[in-house]
Structure 1
């Protein structure tokens, strides 16, 4: 039976990827909420509180990652930097790339320009650039097919809408493995049954921006975490060492 909530698959304390006098970035585990939320009453641990206790000071998340998404998560260490970095995110000045394992063979490259509707009904422009890094076909029967096909893709959003990457991949019929509710429940069950895998295979692997005060170019990369790495090694026998 499928668990009702994701399991944090990276041990604590949180892995710090970058730290300066006013910023810190962590490799957020899959399954860890950024902060307390009324829609996730089952959670007892949150990145904000864990990092605060780990560093011994207040921290401010300047952007968000979905609970089930792992990877680079940036925090400010004081209010002025929090405001400055939130403005950079809002103005589209922060470069973000993600890795995902999705169903089927994706095109070599594709720009997904598909507006998304918010919960309040407002429709917003949303654009994601997809690049296929690897494809695989494994001897695992699924439905009427004797084999199963998957792709490792790099996703670069130029807008930052809620669940944008998840919705965009579902829209082009290549849902992210482990995604609920936007993904394919039959594929998710297949991965749970065959591989005991219940993580959403979406990873925020790169973040780049200009430091608001010093003008320095900051580039942060997050290594893949345990379950994503295991699925890479399981599905892609020729996985590039740079990803794992």
Structure 2
């Protein structure tokens, strides 16, 4: 299993900034890029996450062992797919109408957002994580392993080795993990699902995930998987 020492974050919004801070606290070298020039975001990064390195997308990717995609979903195709070739990528995106606009203009109706992001970055390995818990909760509710107050995150993807790698990374960031091995299951945590915005411990998250198919939303998801 690859040793992760350097974390790259594409997206210097609220989630990207929070994850950069958590990664720094966990002892990783962190690079982060934003939608503007390095000069434009450098002061923000130095102020909000001192120690992180503001860089262009290409420099972030070239100097990182793992990449976190923390941009509005509607902008993922603004990134050259070839840039992330052979990279392990954490998809922290969701469709959100306030930032992404009309869903049909962003996503095809026949698969989940992460499946479509994975299809675009076809030469990368995608794992869904960090996408549904509010950024305030991500920032404020990290705890050491074994702490009864520790929260859990859902981690899923098609590549078992990659999912296990990301789960281990999530552990170092201060969260337990509920693990699945199906990228399409990422929809369980997207807007409209019972988990979106939730901040739960392992037991409660596992219970909600296990009972997901009994909810109205879960039944709709199951129906959508029938070809």
Short-chain TM bin: under 0.3
Higher normalized helix content (fraction of residues) = 2
TM-score for the superposition, normalised by structure 1: 0.24
Higher normalized strand content (fraction of residues) = 1
Task: Find the structure with the greater CA-based Rg.
Answer: 1
